Structure 1
Amino acid sequence: MKKKNEAPRKLHSGHFAFMRALVQGLDENASWNRYLHLEGEYTDLRTVRRTIASIRDQFAAAARRENKPGTARLILMDAERFKAAPALPSLAEFAAANGLEEFSEEEQLEAYQDAYPSGKRGAGQGGGEGEGQGANKRSQRPSRRARVVERQLEALRWLQGLVAQDPKPSDSVSAWLNPSMAKRLERAGLTTLSVLVERINGVGARWWALVPGVGEGKAARMVEWLQANEALLGLKVGRHVAQPRMKLASATLEAVVPAATAIRPYEKFVLPAELDGRAGRFRARPENCLLAAGNDHEAIGAWLSSKAAGAKGNPSATQRAYRKEAERLLLWAVLERKKALSSLTLEDATAYRDFLADPPAAWCGPRHHQRWSPLWRPLEGPLHGVTLRHSLTVVRSLFAFLMRQGYLMGNPFVAVALPVQPLRPLGSSRTLTFAQWDHIDALLEKYGETEADRRLRRGMRWLYATGLRLAEITSVKCEDLTPVEYRADGTMATDWLLAVIGKGNRSREVPVPAKLVEELGDELARHGFDRQVGAVSNRGVHVMSRFDDELKRPAPWSASGLYQGIKAFLAQAAGGLDAADASQLKKASTHWLRHSHGSHALQGREGRAPVPLQIVQNNLGHASVGTTSLYLTTERDERLKAMRGFWKVPPLPE
């Protein structure tokens, strides 16, 4: 029974094809799998019976709406209740059964017609043409069951022309899909067919993993149905959905979203000719410009190229961060302000600041959607405080560069007031306590033993032990590790130094405990590589590699993949903790492990001496020791103690 406020199911050609098959007595299992497998497995007989009953009820309701009560009753009628006409013997079989073999065929036929006055002779009968035609005429009247079947088929043809519908992008999923499946999709925010297709294309083969209650089999049936109705929907499920993302070529992913003048990443954003900046209001004289850039898009490209280059042509962390801010501004200028970037005024710059503080929902989306995905958006949500200040500072830097190169005459963002820079200890609200880290480390010790489990454990422990940034830990390779023997506590010890190229293209060496390097060696050996991490054959293998048996050389774990994996683990680790600790772990991310490294190392703990400030500064890659000292609370306490004397505060009682 349909519940109140529940969207009515719509009838499509598959429903009618299935019912025609049933009416004609075809195999129900095969017919279900051919026409209605989207509804669920045929082995779930309750679903099959419920679906058949629902289809019949809808057919009958449609007939009643057309003032055809007789047709409604006919649709609900089960033709099986009427017995089919019995199969009659052939003339030869009749003659043999009745001892008439020696009689003439004319005499046999006369006896046959006396026995079956209205029957139709079986195959292989002889006799004159006229006599045969007479017998056939008497036997042409179909059985009652056959007449019911024929009338039902006629009714179905009439109904199909009347009520069968084609799916539309705006239709709710509950209008076309199995009710229980539709409810699960709706709970995951997939309310319409267009939203469903966008999610499938945006995530790829495992789109269903984030929809509780929908497994791979149900997901495959949905995709098959959507693909079968692509022409009607005008929505196409991309080819990339058919394969796991790790097996897809980069060109396949890049082709998912075409370049356009719409919300697109910088590399796919097409500037309209009238807003490309060639005739920008504040363009400087071309003969004085030091850039070969002809438009605003190319000018941004020149600015990004001036930053530190990433390995093998990939953008560096700095370039990615700056690109994000530049593309936001470029998209906003063209799509929202309807201006070229090189025509922006102070009023435009102020409006952009307000836009970042309150962007439309269409501009926002989760950060884990990659740039190839149609779900990618330039913002996660409103920017405030530090993040807004950073964004405007980067944009100000872009315009300053374009002015220095003679591309622009002015910088409208110079006069825009920046949010006040808050004074707070570095990582003060984004640091794990010792107890929280001990809880996490204990869970890691008992974590699973799949390759993905071990990789996650490796990532978290390396981040905490070294204090590296996310982009740094995902870029280092086996050849960046060097063993070092040294004297510690009167004996010789061996640990490792990791060569890192960090922020500002500055290089440093970070200590790594031997235990972590030994575990990496075990993982290498497990997948057929040399156990000695520094072996020549291991050159090019990333410390954070995804060891896939199908690949000759393991691919590096992406920064976003590591980030998402650790976020998911920390959210899971929050279970069973008190509300305050659970809240902290749910908010924590990879950068919290870096902050925790700095804070824990400087504080020291029972049985472990504090690490000197300059060593922690090197580990974290801070240009100034003053930045690292913000992790310390001791310096703050000493200042307060000194001021108590100035304030003439009485000493505290012992």
Structure 2
Amino acid sequence: MPARVSPPRPILRPVLHCGHFAFLRAIVQGLSARAMWERYLPDAGDYADGHAVHRMTGFVRRELMAAAARAGHFGRAHLLRLNLAPAADGGALPSLETFAATHGLDGFGEAEQQALYDDHYRADLDVQRRRTCLLRRQLLAIYSLEAQLCTPVALGDGCEAWFVDTLAQRLADAGLGTLGALHARMTASPDWWKPLRGIGAGKAQAIRQFMQAHASTLGPLPDWEAGAAPDTGADAPDLPAVVSTLVPLDRLVVPAALTGASGRHRAPQETCLLHATNDLEAIRAWIAAKAPPTTPDHAGRLTYTQLCYRKEAERFALWCVVENQTALSSVGIEDCTRYRDFLLAPPAHWCGPRSIGRWQVGWRPLEGPLSARSCAYALSVLNNLFNFLVKQGYLVGNPWAAVQAPGVVGAGLDTGRALTAALWHVVGRVLDGLPVTLATLRLRVALGLLRQTGIRLAELVQATTGRLEWLALAQPPLAPDEGWWLTVTGKGGRIRRVPVTDDWVNALGDYLVARGLSPDPGLAGDIPLIGSAAEGAPATAGISRNVFHKQVKRFFERCARELDATDPRGAARLRAASTHWLRHTAISEALARGAPVEIVQANAGHVSLATTTRYVQVQDARRARAMRGVWESH
């Protein structure tokens, strides 16, 4: 029997499955926590103590409360908050027979005994009946939400749907992109994990626990300790057919001739600074190199920059293999030019809704033709990739250096893209008139934060309650300056703190309550500041930049309609506005109100003071007034 290993860090994403619902139902009905843990949550590790049960039931409750609140069912959210489990000390009422014997009622009839019993314990019985009624309603609510939220584990699921990014990537590197492929590998040998980089006995044991916990949908694993023979593969689980070759790279089987192992522009392997032996490994090394230093809590999570870079590299690598039939390390200038034109007019089968996850069959690399600006960005990312590969000795040259990006009208910083005080007044009036929903509360909190701080949209969607803290900053001989600060991660992984007001934190507390969470950010857990408003989404679910951008654009369109008749120019500006306009607004207002430019620079996260200085428009305003005065006086 193999030696017991210490448990690794959690390998699973926080996703609810059927076991979570069954466990919560059992606990609220007073069943044994240890037995229910072992029955329903074996994939969560060994049962430890009551604290683990408390954390798990708290996690499940928060997810269900948030889902109910997002759907506008605030009464149901409150119901799910109630702890209706029987008291640990029992506290049960005596039986009718015990009551009769204790009070000398043996000579009374049963109906008389029952009447006296009910009268004696009236208050306790009322509490018990109310608890029973609430418990029945709570169980019905849990069953109802299970039908909406429960995600069954299936063989066709990508490993990234259930495992944390680092583990899913290591499995993908080994060709195990789906749970079906992983199951087949585990069925074939008890030592399936030993050849895999970064997966030791601890992680292998945790993966096995997960697979066994979902054997009803994934199929059983052999009991190697009982002497089961390795599977030859003849009975491997059937995997869903891949209906398109356009799949994420970690699920694409690349022909040997196109892997880049012998690419036309490969530099000698002995002088290469990377361990990569093919193009996909080289891309992963480049993405990994973009990761900033991080804490153990955030280890393995790709940053926004890494996700953007992966998207562009993935598109190009897929185009090379599927459309151009060329290894990435073999492309020349002509190939790169064709790809640029391809992005501006991709075929329909390359396009699909952005909402489809990477592990789903309907995923596609593009949403539609790229704008000139987006195409230029894609080419700049690929230029960065090839520069990296050249500098590390993987390639001998960079063909992207000779490819002209599409012309972009109005390139550069446009500091005039800001909302005036009058337009902001319209925004506030329309916002106050919206119906109170979870999406509206999110909009109020987010717009307030963007206008106060000028943080970027990417920084907003990555911000969490765990990075909001109350600080007392020493300034001798004066008293400490106390207040709320939010830590954000900006471009290049640069971390900075921005001050926020008490009023905004109070508004955030109201929003957290609507999500079914504690109003105290410190007690809500490390969750996204702005969460999903989709029905059935867990409380810990964040929101993508694209989803929030679209909500803001719809809102500004609504504001613009208020001005169409009276101020068409203002309406046009509102229709053009975006979240980035609020960044410009915050910076411009701070400077106009006398904030020192170096203070605004630090708050905005500008690397160069010259960037912040471009927002100073006092001199331009004086010049405009002077010149208008010259001509209007004649």
Normalized against structure 2, the TM-score is what? 0.55
Q: How far 1:616 sits from its partner (Å)?
A: 2.5
Q: Is the 8 A contact 2:344 2:372 kept in 1?
A: no
Give the residue type in structure 2 aligned to 1:328.
R
Q: Say whether the 8 Å CA contact 1:322–1:394 is kept in structure 2.
A: yes
2:488 aligns with 500
Identify the range of structure 1 (632-641 vs 618-627) with the bigger mean alpha-carbon deviation: 632-641
State the SS of the aligned residue for 1:556.
coil
Residues 296-307 of structure 1 mapped to structure 2, 5 A cutoff:
296-307=279-290
Closer, same or farther in 2 for the Cα pair 1:591/1:423, shift >3 Å? Answer: closer
Contact in 1 for aligned 2:265/2:397 (Cα 8 Å) = yes
Inter-partner Cα distance in structure 2 for 1:377 and 1:342: 23
In the alignment, does 2:557 pair up with 1:571?
A: yes
Partner of 1:268: 251
Tell me which residue corresponds to 1:443: 430
Give the root-mean-square deviation of aligned CA atoms: 4.0
Check if 1:280 corresponds to 2:263: yes
Match of 2:322 in 1: 335
Equivalent in the alignment of 2:612: 628
The answer on whether the counterparts of 1:403 and 1:410 sit within 8 Å (CA) in structure 2 is yes
Whether the aligned pair in 1 keeps the contact of 2:445 and 2:511 (CA below 8 Å) is: no
What letter corresponds to residue 276 of structure 1 in structure 2?
T
Counterpart contact for 1:259–1:268, Cα < 8 Å:
no
Report the 3-state secondary structure (helix = DSSP H, G, I; strand = E; otherwise coil) of the residue aligned with 2:462: coil
| Secondary structure of the structure 1 residue equivalent to 2:393 | coil
Structure 1 CA distance for aligned equivalents of residues 148 and 594 of structure 2: 45
User: Match of 1:408?
Assistant: 395
What is the identity, as a one-letter code, of the residue corresponding to 1:595?
Answer: H
Please give the per-residue CA displacement for 1:128-162, whole angstroms capped at 9, x wherever unaligned: xxxxxxxxxxxxxxxxxxxxxxxxxxxxxxxxxxx
Alpha-carbon distance between aligned partners in 2 of 1:417 and 1:246, rounded to the nearest angstrom: 48
Over the matched positions of the two proteins, sequence identity in percent amounts to 39
Asked whether the 8 Å contact 2:419–2:581 carries over to 1, the reply is yes
Count how many residue pairs are aligned between Structure 1 and Structure 2. 400
Conserved 8 A contact 2:531-2:539? no
Normalised TM-score (structure 1): 0.53
Distance 1:312 1:544, change over 3 A: farther
**Structure 2 equivalent of residue 292 of structure 1:** 275
DSSP 3-state at the match of 1:631: coil
Q: Quick one: which amino acid aligns to residue 338 of structure 2?
A: A
Q: Aligned with 1:277: secondary structure?
A: coil
2:358 is aligned with 1:371: yes
The answer to whether the 8 Å contact 1:477/1:543 transfers is: yes
Question: Aligned-pair distance for 1:480?
Answer: 2.0
| Contact 1:260-1:268 within 8 A present in 2 as well | no
1:499 is paired with a residue whose SS is strand
Q: Partners of 2:442 and 2:251 in 1: how far apart?
A: 33
CA drift of 1:551 comes to 9.2
1:457 maps to 2:436: no
Number of the residue aligned with 1:75: none
Question: Contact 2:242–2:361 (CA<8 Å) still a contact in 1?
Answer: no
Counterpart Cα distance in 2 of 1:451 and 1:463: 18
Going from structure 1 to structure 2, the CA distance change for 1:562 and 1:249 (only over 3 Å counts) comes to farther
1:376 positional shift: 4.3
In structure 2, distance between residues paired with 1:628 and 1:441:
27
Partner of 1:483, secondary structure, is strand
> Does the C-alpha gap of structure 1 residues 258 and 502 become closer, same or farther in structure 2, counting only changes over 3 Å?
farther
1:594 maps to which residue?
583
- Which of 310, 332, 336 is the equivalent residue of 1:349? 336
Deviations 1:160-184 (A, max 9, x none): xxxxxxxxxxxxxxxxxxxxxxxxx
Residues 354/249 of structure 1: CA separation in 2 closer, same or farther (3 Å cut): same
- For 1:434 and 1:384, the matched residues in 2 are separated by 32
CA distance in 2, matches of 1:551, 1:264: 25
1:425·1:630 contact (CA, 8 Å) conserved in 2? no
2:526 counterpart of 1:543? no
Give the residue type in structure 1 aligned to 2:254: L
CA displacement at 1:458 relative to structure 2? 1.3
Shift of 1:373: 5.2
Distance in 1 (CA, whole Å) between partners of 2:465 and 2:521 is 6
Match of 1:94 in 2: none
**How big is each residue's C-alpha offset from its partner over 1:577-629, in whole Å with a ceiling of 9 and x where there is no partner?**
31544444344333332233223333x3xxxx243322322222111122223
Tell me, in whole angstroms, the C-alpha distance in 2 between the residues paired with 1:632 and 1:250: 56
Contact 2:438 2:514 in 1 (8 A): no
Larger RCO (CA under 8 A, 6+ residues apart): 2
What corresponds to 2:468 in structure 1? 481
SS in 2 for 1:308: coil
1:470-490: CA deviations, max 9, x gaps?
222222223322335799xx9
Q: How far, CA to CA, are the matches of 2:559 and 2:380 in structure 1?
A: 37
Structure 2 segments unaligned to the other structure (5+ residues): 1-144, 162-177, 179-238
User: Relative to 1, partners in 2 of residues 1:493 and 1:415: Cα closer, same or farther, differing over 3 Å?
Assistant: closer
The answer for the alignment partner of 1:509 in structure 2 is: 497
Q: Which has the larger radius of gyration?
A: 1
